[in-house]
Structure 1
Amino acid sequence: MPKLFSRSSTPRRPGRVSARVRILGWLLLLTVLTLLFVGVLVRTILLENVDTDTNAALTQETEEFGEFARTGIDPATGRKFDNVAELFEVYLSRQVPDEDEILLGVDNARSEFPFYKAEARPPYAVQDDAGLLAGVNASASSWGNTGTPAGEMRWAKVPVTSTNGSSGHLLIGYFTQPARDEVASIMTTAAWAALLALLLIAGVGWVVAGQILAPVRTVRKAAAEISAHDLTQRIPVQRRDDIGELAETFNSMLDRLDDAFATQRQFLDDAGHELRTPITIVQGHLDVMGDDPADRDETLRLVTDELARMTRMVDDLLLLAKARRPDFVRPGPVALADLTSDIYRKVEQLGNRSWSVDSTSTDIVRVDAQRVTQALVQLAHNAVRHTRDGDRIELGSAVDDHVVTFWVADTGSGVSPADAEKIWERFSRGSGYTGEGAGLGLAIVKAIAEAHGGRAILMDKQGAGSTFGIELPR
C-alpha cells in the first residue's frame, strides 16, 4: 500500500524563508515604521514648541517694556525719566534675561556708545557686531530673524520716546539654536532607546514566535513521518488558541484517516476470508464437472447460486465500508407515520406471517428515510428467518423530545444471552441459526444507526420472541 505521507512528499525548497523569520521580519518592519513615524511627529512638535515658546517670550518681554515705557517713572525715585538712556539703564538693571536671551537699549542720541545690555554672557556678543546691529536697527519691521555665528536669533524692537524728546528702542533677541540642539539631543537619546527596544523586541519576538509555531513544526514533522501503515501518532494539545485548534484539527484528520484505512483493511480481510469458501466451492465443482448433461446442469446451478451469494456478500461489504463516509446518510424532514406505513407495505410480502403495525406518531422527524427503510427491512428479514408461518411480527415507531425509535418485534425463539452482543458483529450468527446468510444483516443495521449518531437495540425475551430496533437522534 503506498504511503500517505513521506519525508520526500514535502521537500524544503532551497532559499525558502521560514514562517518564524517572516513573522519576525514583519513585526520588526512594523515596529521600525511606527518608531520612525513617532520620532518624526515628536521632533516636529518639539521644534514647533521652540518657535511657540520663543514667540511667547518675545511678546511677553515687549509687553513688559511697553508698559514700563508708557509709565515713564523711575520706581526708585518716583520721578519721570529725563531721557531714554536713563530709562534703558533702570529697566535693564532690573531684568534677569533667560539663558538664550539678550536685551539691548539703543539711544539714538548717543552714537558713540549707543547700547546697553543686560545679558553678561550671551550665546553671541551681538553688541560687538556693528554690522548685524546696523541691519536690525535699520529694519522697518518690529519683528524678524537674523543669522549669527551662534545660530538664528529671533528679535523684536520696541520704540520709545522720553519727555525731553530723545528716542530709541529696546532690542530683544532670542537665540533658538540652543533649544534646537536640545531637541536634537533628545531625539538622539530617543533613537538609541528605540534601537535598544528594537533589539529587545527582536529577541523576544524570536522566542515567542518559536513558541507559537512549535505546534506547527510538530504538525509538519508528524505529517512527514506518518504513513498509511502508522497513523497512531497524535500531537499533544496543550494550548487553547488557534494553534491548539490546528493541532486538534490535524488529530481529527488522522482519526478519520486511521478509521478509513481500518475500514479498508477490514473490508479486504473480510472479503478475502469470506469469499475464499464460495470460490473454492465454485472451483471444485467446475474441476469435477463431467460431460453428463444432468451433471452439468446441477453444477451450473450450484455455481450460479454461489456466485449470487458472493455478489450479495460483496454488496453488503461495500455498504458497510461506505457506512463510515460522512455522506452515507442524508437526513431530511420525514413524516414518521408515512415512513412507518411505507416500510410496512414493503416487508409484509417477505413471508407468510401475521404482520401488523404496533404504534407510530404523527411527528415530523429528521432522518434518512432510505437508510431507515433499509435497516427495518433487514430486521424484518431477520424476524422472518427466526419465525414460522403464521407467527406475529410487529413494526412500530415512536418519538420523544430527543430520540426517534423504530423496531421490529417477533414471537420467535429469541436470542440467547451469549449471542446478545456478538450478533451485531460482521459474519456473526446466532447459535441456533442454520440459514445460509453471511451474517452481515445486523451489522448493516448497526452501521446505519451509528451513521445517524444513534445505536442499535435488542430487547429480548428468550422463548417469547425478540424486539430489534434502532434509536436515532430526533
Structure 2
Amino acid sequence: MSNESNDSGTTSNLIRGWRKFLGEARTRILLWYVLIITFIFVVSIPAFRLLLHARVDMRVNRELREKIKVFHSLVTYGITSDHTEKDALDIQQFEMLRTDERLQRPSSRQQLKDFFKAFLSSQLPDDDTFLIAFLDGKFYRSSPRGRPEQLAENSQLMQYWAKQTQPEQGEKHFSDSSVHSILYLTQPVKINGEILGVFVVAHTSAGEHAEALEAVIVIVQVSCVVLVVALVLAWVASGHVLAPLRMLIAAIRSTSESDLQKRISVQGQGEIAELATTFNEMMDRLQRAFTSQRNFINDAGHELQTPITIIRGHLELMDNDPEEIEETRILVLDELDRMSRFVEDMILLAKAERSDFLQLKTVDVAALTEELYAKAKILADRNWRLDAMGKGQIVVDRQRITQAVMNLVQNATQHTKNTDVISIGSTISNGKVHFWVRDTGEGIAVSDQQRIFERFARAAHSRRRSEGAGLGLSIVKAIAEAHCGMVKLRTQPGNGAKFTIVLPVEPPPMMNDQLIDNS
C-alpha cells in the first residue's frame, strides 16, 4: 500500500514539474520559436525545390533554343552566309564548320542527308542532351548515338516527332525515374515547299532533378543542424533576457511589511528593463507609504496619549471638593474637545483621498475673498489687511477652500504678535487663482519649510507652542492637491511668511463628476 502511495506521489510530482516547465515563459518562447522556424522550413524548402526546378528548366530550354537557332541558321542560309548565327558558336567551332562544304544550304534530299550527317558529327551535346535527325518521316541519325529507351527508334515519341510539320516546344513526362521528363524543341526542314526532314533537340531532366533533389537534401540537413544550434542559443538567450523576471519573482517573494529594501538592478532598455524600473518605483512608493503609515500611527498614538494621560491623572487625583471637581470637569472637556478636533482632522485627511471629497460649485472670487477676510478678523487681535480681490468665476469646493484658508490664518495668528500684520488676498492670472495669507511674524527656518507640510510637523524653533496637533498645514496641502493645485511658501526667518494656495480656474475633466449643478 505504501509503495502505491509513493508511486502516485512521484507521478503527481512529475506531472506538476512538467506543467511548471511547460508553463514557464522561457519554455513558451522556445516552443513558439520552434513552431515559427518549423513553419518557415516547411514552406520554404518545397518552394526552394520548385524554384530550383524552374531555374533548371529555364536553363535547359535556353540551351535547346540556342541549338535550334544555330541549326535553323545553317539550314536556311549556310555556313558562309552573313545571316548565320555566329554568336551561338565559339570561334574554333565556327572555323571548323566553315571548311565543311556539306553545311551549305541544302536544296535536295541528298544534300539535306549530307547536311544532317555533317552537322551531327560536328556537335558535342551536353550531358543528357540529344540531337536527333529525321529524314522522310523516319529516324536517320542522332548525337550521341546511345539514347534511353524512351528515345528508341520505334518509340511513340520518336514517331510523333518524325511527323512534325511545324516547330514545336514541349515536355513529355514519364514514370521512369531514370528519365523523369524530356524537354524538346522540333524544327521541320522544308525544301522547295516540301518537308523532307525534322531536327529535334531533346533533353532528359532526370539528372538535373536529381542534382536539385540532392541540393534540397543538403539544405534540409544543414537547416536541421542550424535549427538545433538556434534552439540552444535561443534557450540561453531567453534565459538571459528573462533573468530580470526571475529576480522580480525572488524580490516579490522576499518582500514583507518589515523588509521593503529589495530592488532589482536595471540593465539596458526595453520592456523587461521598464518592468524592473516600474517594480522599483512601486517598491519606493510602498516603502514611503508604509513609513508614512508607521509614522502616522506612532505620532497619532503620541498625540492621543497626552490628553488621555492628562484626563486620567486629574480624574484619579480628583477629590470631593466641588471647586476642584468643576476645574477637573472643565479641563477634561477641553482635552476631549482637543481629541475630537484631532480625530476630525485625521478623518478629513483620510477623506481627502476619496473621489467624493470635493463638492465643486461655481464661486465668485471677490465675494469669497471678502467672506474669508471677514471670518479671519474674528480669530485674533492683529493688524488685519485685505491686499487684493480677484475678479472672476472659479469652480471649487467653497467649504474646503474656506477651511484651508482659515487653517493658514490660524497658523499665522499662532506665530505673530498683536502688533504684527496679517494680510489676505486673491488674484486670477493665466488660468490660475491664487489665495494667500501673509504675515510679518517670526518666519520659518529653511530646514522646516518642507517639513511643516507633513503630518504632525511643527516648526522646530517657534517662539510659542502651537495648540494643534500639527495637522493644519497637512490639511491645507490635501485640499489644494484635491483641487489639482498646490501650496507655495515664501518666507525668511524673522521677516514673516506668505502661504499661497494655487488652483486651476476650471477643474480638470477627471473632476467633472464632482461638479454640482448650481441651478
TM-score (structure 2 length as normaliser) = 0.72
Cα offset for 1:321? 6.3
Contact 1:399 1:405 in 2 (8 A): yes
Alignment of 1:22-421 (within 5 A): 22-71=28-77, 76-77=100-101, 80=106, 81-83=108-110, 84-108=112-136, 114-119=139-144, 124=148, 130-131=154-155, 135-137=159-161, 142=168, 143=170, 145=172, 147=174, 149-160=178-189, 167-287=196-316, 299-319=328-348, 340-359=369-388, 373-387=402-416, 392-397=421-426, 406-412=435-441, 414=442
Q: Describe the SS at the equivalent of 2:379.
A: coil
Answer yes or no: is the 8 Å Cα contact 1:379–1:468 preserved in 2.
Answer: no
- Counterparts in 2 of 1:66 and 1:411: CA distance versus 1, 3 Å: closer
The SS at the match of 2:23 is coil
Give the counterpart letter for 2:271 in structure 1: D
State the 1:161 CA deviation.
Answer: 5.3
Aligned equivalents of 1:37, 1:127: Cα separation in 2: 37
Question: In the alignment, residue 51 of structure 2 is paired with which amino acid?
Answer: I
Task: Note if contact 2:74-2:105 (Cα within 8 Å) is conserved in structure 1.
Answer: no
* Post-superposition offset of 1:129: 5.6
Amino acid at match of 2:472: G
Which is worse superposed, 163-172 or 332-341?
A: 332-341
Task: Find the partner of 2:496 among 431, 444, 466.
Answer: 466
Structure 1 residues 56 and 419: alpha-carbon distance in aligned structure 2, compared to 1, 3 A threshold: closer
Give secondary structure in 1 for the equivalent of 2:468: coil
Tell me, yes or no, if the aligned pair for 1:115 and 1:127 is still in contact at 8 Å. Answer: no
AA in 1 matched with 2:266: V
Give 3-state SS (helix, strand or coil) of 1:88's partner.
Answer: helix
**Letter of the structure 2 residue corresponding to residue 467 of structure 1:** A
- Please give the alpha-carbon distance, in whole angstroms, between the structure 2 residues aligned to 1:418 and 1:106: 115
Asked if the contact 2:488–2:499 (Cα under 8 Å) also holds between the matched residues in 1, the reply is yes
| Matching residue of 1:440 | 471
Preserved CA contact (<8 Å) 2:382 2:420 = yes
Secondary structure at the counterpart of residue 158 of structure 1: strand
Contact 1:322 1:328 in 2 (8 A): yes
Q: 1:280 to 1:350 in 2, by over 3 A?
A: same
**Structure 2 CA distance, aligned partners of 1:374 and 1:138?**
114
Q: Secondary structure at the match of 1:408?
A: strand
For residues 396 and 375 of structure 2, the distance between their equivalents in structure 1, rounded to whole angstroms, comes to 19
Deviations 1:279-300 (A, max 9, x none): 1233344445667777666544
Residue 377 of structure 1 deviates from its aligned partner by: 1.5
Question: 1:134–1:30: structure 2 CA closer, same or farther, 3 Å change rule?
Answer: closer
Cα pair 1:407 1:467 within 8 Å, conserved: no
In structure 2, what residue type is equivalent to 1:98? D
Structure with more contact order per residue of length (Cα contacts < 8 Å, sep ≥ 6):
1
Which of 11, 25, 41 is the matching residue for 1:19?
Answer: 25
Moved more, 240-249 or 438-447: 438-447
Secondary structure of the structure 1 residue equivalent to 2:438: strand
The answer on whether the counterparts of 1:457 and 1:471 sit within 8 Å (CA) in structure 2 is no
The 3 A distance-change label for structure 1 pair 151 and 418 is closer
Give, in whole Å, the separation in 2 of the partners of 1:287 and 1:408: 44
CA, structure 1 residues 250+333, in 2 after alignment: closer, same or farther (shift >3 Å)?
A: farther
> 1:107: how far off?
2.9
* Residues 239-271 of structure 1: per-residue CA shift (max 9 Å, x gap): 232222211211111111111111211111012
Q: 1:310 to 1:54 in 2, by over 3 A?
A: same
Deviation at 1:101, TM superposition (A): 0.9
The 1:229/1:434 distance shift into structure 2, 3 A limit, reads closer
Distance 2:393 2:233 in 1: 59
Deviation at 1:227, TM superposition (A): 0.8
User: Residue 340 and residue 247 in structure 1: after superposition, are their counterparts in 2 closer, same or farther (change >3 A)?
Assistant: farther
| 119 and 263 in structure 1: CA distance in 2 versus 1, 3 angstrom threshold | same
**Structure 1 unaligned regions, length at least 5:** 1-10
Gaps of 5+ in 2: 1-15, 81-97, 505-519
Are the structure 2 counterparts of residues 236 and 368 from structure 1 closer, same or farther at C-alpha, using a change threshold of 3 Å?
farther
Which segment drifts farther, 19-28 or 449-458?
449-458
* TM-score, normalised relative to structure 1: 0.77
Corresponding position of 1:5: none
- Secondary structure of 1:173's counterpart equals strand
Say whether the 8 Å CA contact 1:264–1:321 is kept in structure 2.
no
| RMSD, matched Cα | 4.4
Instruction: Provide the C-alpha distance between the structure 2 equivalents of 1:210 and 1:53, rounded to a whole number of angstroms.
Output: 49
415-424 or 230-239, larger mean C-alpha shift? 415-424
What fraction of aligned residue pairs are identical, expressed as a percent?
33
How many angstroms apart in 2 are the aligned matches of 1:457 and 1:137? 107
**How has the CA–CA distance of structure 1 residues 73 and 382 changed in structure 2, closer, same or farther, with 3 Å as cutoff?**
closer
Residues 401 and 392 (structure 1 numbering): CA distance in 2 closer, same or farther, change over 3 Å?
A: same
Residue 338 to residue 27, structure 1, CA distance change in 2 (3 Å): farther
Q: CA shift at 1:21, angstroms?
A: 1.8
Indicate the residue corresponding to 1:428 in structure 2.
458
Distance 2:161 2:463 in 1: 129
| Distance in 2, Cα, partners of 1:87 & 1:418 | 116
Distance 2:60 2:361 in 1: 82
Question: Matched residues in 2 for 1:150 and 1:461: separation?
Answer: 107
Contact 1:267 1:321 in 2 (8 A): no
Structure 1 residues 322 and 269, CA gap change in structure 2 (3 angstroms): farther
Deviation at 1:400, TM superposition (A): 8.0
Q: Number of residue pairs matched? A: 457
